[in-house]
Amino acid sequence: MRAVILDRTGPVEDSVLRLGEVDKPVAGPGEVVMKVSTCGVCHSNLHMIEGDWVDGGVPAFLPIIPGHEVVGVIDSLGPGVDWLHLGQRVGVQPLWRTCGHCEYCLSGEEQRCQDKDITGETVHGGYAEYMLAKALHCYPVPDEIGDVEAAPLFCPGITAYSAVFRASLSPGKRVAVFGIGGVGHMVLEFAVLTGAEVIAVTRSVVHGNVASTLGVNQVINAAEVDAVDAIKTMGGVDASIVFAPADEVVRQAIDATRPGGTVVVGVQVDLGRFLFADEKKIVGSVIGPRHRMNDVLKLAAQGRVKPVCDVFSLEEAPEVLSKLKHGEIRARAVLKI
């Protein structure tokens, strides 16, 4: 099969990725092989490819096939898989496998499992014509959702939904979302559904234009005005959600949040000085468990959320990652295999 392969980590412009031929995977017990139709391109892919996470053991091995938001049809079933069928359309999110028996798995917070595999980071991912998946972590894709729009639901969708869940939004509350990219634009969509007043904060005119189409109450261009001052003029926000990977931005979010409010952080940042007396809560958020993933698919099938996508071919993966690196992707890039 054809696949985009990472042989070594380094700047994406240095030809660290290549399109090559590898053996098609074979399904073992409890596994399936998917014929991939689409795979989203995530900023996390870029971090792995460029070696930002090597000290944390990611990628787990080389060469590896990246990609962790994958949609396709089942090509073969391994022994013991009797609840899925050949030709069925399914999706896989970053949570490729969990142990199933730790306190986190048993309490419905399996994304915290310490014995998990991450699609495209510790196992081969979806930048390929076929991918191996665990049947228990495959999600049937509703007919109402197209392949292109479905793929981002399996990372930006579940990640955004979980972040909004942790922000405890409701009508009468106000939230600011910092960073309107692949995940951030979906945070806006889910936040709007809560009935809260939603403010989008971005330095990008392109991302601001995307935000303005998603039903938000206000878009603040942080390149033109002081975002914190603008938010404080309104009386601050009850919650901030941060998906801009910048230390200064998360500090702005903390400052813009009212005492007693919540700051949800979905990126790696240095929080800096924190004033405990304001009793603000800082909450980390990462992807989400299977029951929330199913919620995301239901909402998308009802037409209540829809990713903003730009489509590229598998061969264009290195170019797409370079565009992502330089802020040239509107919202979410999707590879159509």
CA nearest neighbour of 177 among 195, 202, 194: 202
- Residue 308 to residue 173: CA distance in whole angstroms: 26
CB atoms within 10 A of CB 312: 17
Strands 281-284 and 257-265, how do they pair? Answer: parallel
Each residue's pLDDT, cut to its tens digit, for the chain (337 residues) gives 999 999 999 999 999 999 999 999 999 999 999 999 999 999 999 999 999 999 999 999 999 999 999 999 999 999 999 999 999 999 999 999 999 999 999 999 999 999 999 999 999 999 999 999 999 999 999 999 999 999 999 999 999 999 999 999 999 999 999 999 999 999 999 999 999 999 999 999 999 999 999 999 999 999 999 999 999 999 999 999 999 999 999 999 999 999 999 999 999 899 888 889 999 999 999 999 999 999 999 999 999 999 999 999 999 999 999 999 999 999 999 999 9
Strands 218-221 and 197-202, how do they pair? Answer: parallel
The answer to whether the beta carbons of residues 211 and 188 sit under 8 Å apart is yes
- Residue 114 to residue 18: CA distance in whole angstroms: 31
- Residue 28 to residue 12: CA distance in whole angstroms: 33
pTM: 0.96
Domains and CATH numbers, the chain: 2-141+307-336 (3.90.180.10), 158-284 (3.40.50.720)
Helix 158-167 vs helix 290-301: crossing angle, to nearest 10: 100
- The sign of the CA dihedral 219, 267, 239, 331 is positive
CA nearest neighbour of 9 among 46, 51, 41: 51
Residue 251 structure tokens: 């500090």
- Residue 83 to residue 76: CA distance in whole angstroms: 13
Predicted local distance difference test score (pLDDT) of residue 194: 98
- Render 221-273 in DSSP notation, one character per residue: ETTTS-HHHHHHHTT-EEEEEE-S--HHHHHHHHHHEEEEEEEEE-S------
The answer to whether the beta carbons of residues 96 and 133 sit under 8 Å apart is yes
- Please give the C-alpha separations between residue 35 and each of 139, 150, 162, 279, in angstroms, as whole numbers: 14, 15, 28, 50
